[in-house]
């Protein structure tokens, strides 16, 4: 798959998506992989950024198949493990974006404060374009610290029976149900019940 497929899935081009594309294609090439149809490859991602969408499209690792595992540490770290032989790669982003001029740095501050004037958006767009180009042109070793995965291969995804929550009547995966005072309750109902003051 090429970058246009990733953009189509994600909805727009941005530096994070570009970084995820570089990470995923690096792994696919170095580990000589084809897109994962089932759970042949496991991706463990340590953030919920745009990069993860590129990783899903290129590698075939998805939440639904159970071979995309989210550890939301807010770190730009991506690990990949092949089930067949345990071969792995861990990519930690080390790339630093190009320095911004004073006006662009100010535009970023205004953007972060929710200002979306045409002037601010024009500067942000130019800044993002420079970052995208720099990521596209950088060598792999300038983008990432590369080594083996540091966590063990997780177990394969399992299918569990559904149970019915005694309070809302909705189906819940059995391991996620909580038995409280003899009732099977889903987590949202239990949290709502526990936050309701006693009368």
Residue 1 has a pLDDT of: 77
Which phi and psi angles does 66 have, rounded to 5°? 85, 10
Confidence of residue 198 (pLDDT cuts 50, 70, 90): low
For residue 135, what are the CA distances in angstroms to 49, 56, 83, 149, 172?
A: 16, 19, 30, 23, 42
Q: What is the pTM of this model?
A: 0.85
Residue 197 has a pLDDT of: 67
Distance CA 28, CA 31 (A): 6
Give the residue-averaged pLDDT of 99-107. Answer: 92
Does residue 18 contact residue 132 with C-beta atoms inside 8 Å? yes
Does residue 23 contact residue 55 with C-beta atoms inside 8 Å? yes
Residue 195 has a pLDDT of: 83
For β-strands 144-147 and 77-82, DSSP reports them as unpaired
Residue 144 has a pLDDT of: 98
Mean pLDDT across the chain: 94
Whether 61 has a pLDDT exceeding 80, the answer reads yes
Ordered structural domains, the chain, with CATH: 3-95+138-147 (3.30.1330.130), 98-129 (no CATH), 162-195 (3.30.60)
Which phi and psi angles does 110 have, rounded to 5°? -70, -40
Residue 119 has a pLDDT of: 94
pLDDT tens for each residue of 79-93: 999 999 999 999 999
pLDDT tens for each residue of 7-30: 999 999 999 999 999 999 999 999
Residue 62 has a pLDDT of: 96
Whether 31 has a pLDDT exceeding 70, the answer reads yes
The percent of residues above 70 in pLDDT, for the chain, comes to 98
Give the residue-averaged pLDDT of 98-116. Answer: 93
Residue 21 has a pLDDT of: 98
Residue 193 has a pLDDT of: 84
The pair of structure tokens assigned to 23 is: 């990470």
């Amino acid at each position: 798959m090429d970058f246009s497929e990733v953009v189509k899935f994600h909805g727009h081009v941005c530096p994070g998506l570009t970084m995820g594309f570089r990470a995923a294609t690096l792994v696919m090439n170095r580990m000589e992989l084809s897109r994962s149809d089932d759970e042949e490859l496991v991706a463990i991602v340590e953030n919920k950024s745009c990069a993860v969408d590129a990783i899903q499209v290129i590698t075939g690792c998805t939440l639904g198949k159970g071979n995309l595992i989210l550890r939301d540490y807010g770190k730009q770290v991506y690990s990949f493990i092949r089930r067949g032989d345990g071969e792995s790669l861990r990519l930690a982003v080390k790339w630093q974006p190009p320095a911004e001029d004073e006006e662009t740095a100010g535009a970023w501050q205004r953007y972060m404060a929710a200002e979306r004037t045409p002037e601010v958006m024009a500067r942000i767009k130019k800044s993002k374009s420079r970052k995208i180009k720099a990521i596209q042109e950088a060598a792999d070793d300038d983008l990432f610290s590369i080594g083996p995965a540091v966590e063990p291969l997780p177990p394969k995804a399992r299918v569990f029976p559904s149970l019915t929550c005694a309070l809302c009547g909705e189906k819940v995966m059995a391991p996620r149900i909580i038995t409280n005072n003899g009732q099977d309750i889903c987590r949202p109902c239990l949290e709502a019940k526990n936050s309701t003051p006693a009368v």
